[in-house]
């Protein structure tokens, strides 16, 4: 853990998919359905709780960044029957419980993938009135200036299906975005999410950092687990520490794979 006091200590999380059986779920919303996900959900929250408690021992977060897919949506492919909470307002309550738990005084939420967050309405907007903090905003793309450090945040990077290719590709994309607009630097820190797999590209000499965040949703049954032994998602979050243009860093907090494991059946 970064052992230094920074002017900005920012929680960065995404893809909590509130309402999904394997989305990050505050204990107040942990209902038991008697399947393997009961334990996975509890283990996910217990891990998060422990990590956040440690991180906040020195100082609280100054800001919270939530980079999209905060709710699971109507689950069109499964008619919503697999969701723990099918109703989108309930899903927003689950999402708000996470943000209230992290407890940053200022929160920015970028809008997620329409398949999850609404093709016509922006369902995630219903999260705002449920937050304890009064300084919150939701929009598609954010550009921040953090004491001279420019941050660009939106939910979705370009993606590819093959996992290894995607990681290499994302690294390239992050580097290219850095020099977009005829070589001008659009940001010192570029934040993307959506793919549920974490990667960071750091060019200290250029004062550049690109991050694809891990997800706050584990592997489920519906789709991911049935695929051809794809990489499992990275479950976790990021903390950004920023003082100024010469002094900023990040920290991944990724849960051990055990918490996404199924029951082992002894024959």
DSSP-assigned beta bridge partners for residue 8: 242
Mark the segment that binds Fe ion (CB under 5 A) among 12-20, 30-38, 92-100, 253-261. 12-20
First to last CA, the chain: 42
- Using CB under 5 A, pick the residue from 8, 15, 233, 253 that binds Fe ion: 15
Number of residues that bind Fe ion (CB under 5 A): 4
Report the C-alpha gap between 196 and 159 in whole angstroms. Answer: 11
Percent of the chain that is helix, strand, coil (3-state, to 5): 30, 25, 45
Report the C-alpha gap between 199 and 45 in whole angstroms. Answer: 23
- Among positions 235-264, residues that touch Fe ion (CB under 5 A) are none
C-alpha dihedral sign at 14, 20, 24, 27? positive
Mark the segment that binds Fe ion (CB under 5 A) among 87-95, 106-114, 225-233, 251-259. 106-114
- Among positions 164-183, residues that touch Fe ion (CB under 5 A) are none
- Residue 248 near residue 238 (C-beta atoms within 8 A): no
Helix (H, G, I), strand (E, B) or coil at 117: helix
CB of 170 to Fe ion, least distance (A): 14
Residue facing Fe ion at closest CB distance: 113
Mark the segment that binds Fe ion (CB under 5 A) among 27-35, 109-117, 184-192, 219-227. 109-117
Strands of the sheet with 63-67, listed across from one edge? 135-139, 106-110, 63-67, 8-13, 236-244, 247-254
- Using CB under 5 A, pick the residue from 18, 19, 61, 69 that binds Fe ion: 69
Does position 63 bind Fe ion by CB under 5 A? Answer: no
- Name 249's Cβ contacts closer than 8 Å, sequence gap at least 6: 2, 240, 241
Comparing CA positions, the residue from 158, 162, 165 lying closest to residue 227 is 162
Which one, 55 or 72, has the nearer CB to Fe ion? 72
- Using CB under 5 A, pick the residue from 30, 100, 113, 159 that binds Fe ion: 113
CB of 117 to Fe ion, least distance (A): 8
- Among positions 184-203, residues that touch Fe ion (CB under 5 A) are 194
CB of 214 to Fe ion, least distance (A): 11
CB of 87 to Fe ion, least distance (A): 19
Which one, 15 or 234, has the nearer CB to Fe ion? 15
**Look-up of token digits 């853990």:** 1
| Chain positions contacting Fe ion, by CB under 5 A | 15, 69, 113, 194
């Amino acid at each position: 853990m970064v052992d230094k006091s920074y002017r900005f200590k920012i929680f960065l999380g995404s893809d909590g998919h509130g309402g999904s059986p394997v989305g990050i779920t505050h204990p107040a919303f942990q209902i038991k359905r008697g399947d393997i996900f009961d334990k996975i959900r509890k283990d996910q929250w217990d891990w998060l709780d422990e990590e956040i408690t440690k991180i906040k021992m020195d100082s609280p977060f100054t800001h919270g960044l939530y980079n999209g897919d905060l709710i699971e949506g109507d689950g069109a492919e499964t008619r919503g029957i697999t969701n723990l909470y099918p109703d989108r307002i309930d899903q927003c309550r689950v999402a708000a419980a996470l943000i209230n738990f992290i407890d940053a005084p200022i929160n920015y939420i970028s809008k997620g993938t329409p398949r999850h967050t609404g093709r016509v309405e922006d369902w995630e907007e219903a999260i705002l009135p449920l937050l304890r903090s009064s300084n919150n905003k939701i929009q598609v793309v954010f550009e921040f200036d953090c004491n001279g450090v420019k941050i660009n945040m939106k939910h979705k990077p370009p993606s590819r299906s093959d996992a290894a290719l995607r990681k290499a590709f994302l690294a390239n994309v992050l580097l290219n975005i850095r020099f977009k607009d005829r070589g001008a630097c659009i940001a010192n820190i570029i934040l993307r999410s959506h793919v549920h797999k974490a990667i960071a590209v750091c060019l200290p000499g250029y004062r550049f950092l690109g991050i694809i965040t891990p997800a706050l949703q584990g592997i489920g049954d519906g789709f991911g687990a049935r695929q051809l032994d794809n990489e499992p998602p990275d479950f976790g979050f990021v903390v950004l520490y920023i003082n100024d243009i010469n002094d900023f860093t990040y920290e991944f907090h990724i849960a051990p794979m055990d918490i996404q494991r199924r029951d082992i059946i002894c024959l």
